[in-house]
Amino acid sequence: MQNKCREYTHEYLKEDQWTASMTTSDWINLITAIGTVAAAIVGAFLAALAIWGDYFRARLVGPRLTLRPHHSLVGVVTGPKNGPRSIIYHLCVENQKRESSATNCRVILKKLWRKEPDGSIEELLLAVPLTFAWAPSERMPDYITVRNDQIVDFGVLEQIDNRFRPILRTTSENFQGYVHAHECLRYGLEIVADNFSSPHLQVFEVAWDGEFSADLPILATHLRVREVTSEHI
């Protein structure tokens, strides 16, 4: 123990003698070196802030949006009682940080898959991302500000066309995203705004056996709309 104390004392005295032997010029050089390193660190931080500042601000204080089923995805009946009927399915864009609005917000179809009868999944060609319509689609623009919950038209099952189609502003000529009888498709959706983008796709599956009914409980046994997790894609 005494030997260790002598060693510590010896080292301390060596350091004290080293600092005592430093001249004014040595101190100036040391302080200058420390200042140069500090300036480099601050410069790197400011450069990173300039590049990534908007990203971090959006993550820390920006809106937090997510999609959730509206009306439990059972649909809403439209059309004349004595004519062809349509069943519209809605999703809700929910802002979990309502003190911050999402500007120029839209929901886009980013990916598309077909589920085969054997359970295998095939990704379908989607030339460009496509934009869903805000509800009511007849009066809403493509881009809106979202502060509270906002409804988006997801898709419609039309008796006259005998198919389910997603309600998109535009589609390409080779669009393969319609669900016909005995088909099952999965839609990968992303929310995009000036100050937000979805951290991952939310995927909704539509499967139809070809039977149509304007009675929603009955139709729910024939056309199934549900959200699936990424692990099941």
Tell me the average pLDDT of the chain.
Answer: 83
For residue 49, pLDDT beyond 80:
no
For residue 2, pLDDT beyond 50:
no
**178 and 71 belong to one structural domain:** yes
- Each residue's pLDDT tens digit, 185-198: 999 999 999 999 99
- Asked which of 61, 96, 112 is the last residue of a domain, the reply is 61
Identify the residue with better confidence: 34 or 13: 34
**41 and 136 belong to one structural domain:** no
**104 and 216 belong to one structural domain:** yes
**171 and 218 belong to one structural domain:** yes
**52 and 72 belong to one structural domain:** no
For residue 58, pLDDT beyond 80:
no
**75 and 158 belong to one structural domain:** yes
Neighbouring residues of 190: CB distance < 8 A, sequence distance ≥ 6: 107, 108, 110, 129, 197, 198, 201, 202
**DSSP letters spanning the chain:** -HHHHHHHHHHHHHHHHHHHT--HHHHHHHHHHHHHHHHHHHHHHHHHHHHHHHHHHHHHHS--EEEEESGGG--EEES-TTS--EEEEEEEEEES-TTSPEEEEEEEEEEEEEE-TTS-EEEPP-SS-EEBEESSTTT--SSEEESS-EEEEEEEEETTTTEEEE-BS---TT----B-TTEEEEEEEEEEETTEE-SS-EEEEEEE-S---SSHHHHTTTEEEEEE-GGG-
**127 and 211 belong to one structural domain:** yes
Look up residue 82 and give its two tokens: 């004595």
Mean predicted confidence (pLDDT) in 203-208: 96
Look at the chain and report how many structural domains it folds into.
Answer: 2
Please report which confidence band the pLDDT of residue 233 belongs to, taking 50, 70 and 90 as the band edges.
low
Q: Which domain holds residue 24?
A: 2-61
Mean predicted confidence (pLDDT) in 41-45: 67
- Each residue's pLDDT tens digit, 139-190: 899 999 999 899 999 999 998 888 999 999 998 888 999 999 999 999 999 9
**43 and 55 belong to one structural domain:** yes
List beta partners, residue 150: 93
Give the least confident one: 20-34, 127-141, 216-230. Answer: 20-34
> Is this prediction's pTM over 0.75?
no
**39 and 142 belong to one structural domain:** no
**101 and 210 belong to one structural domain:** yes
pLDDT value of residue 44 = 63
Please report which confidence band the pLDDT of residue 13 belongs to, taking 50, 70 and 90 as the band edges.
very low
pLDDT value of residue 16 = 52
Mean predicted confidence (pLDDT) in 46-63: 58
**56 and 156 belong to one structural domain:** no
CA-angle at 126, arms to 124 and 130, nearest 5°: 135
- Each residue's pLDDT tens digit, 94-146: 999 989 999 999 999 999 999 999 989 999 999 899 999 999 888 899 999 99
pLDDT value of residue 19 = 54
**112 and 193 belong to one structural domain:** yes
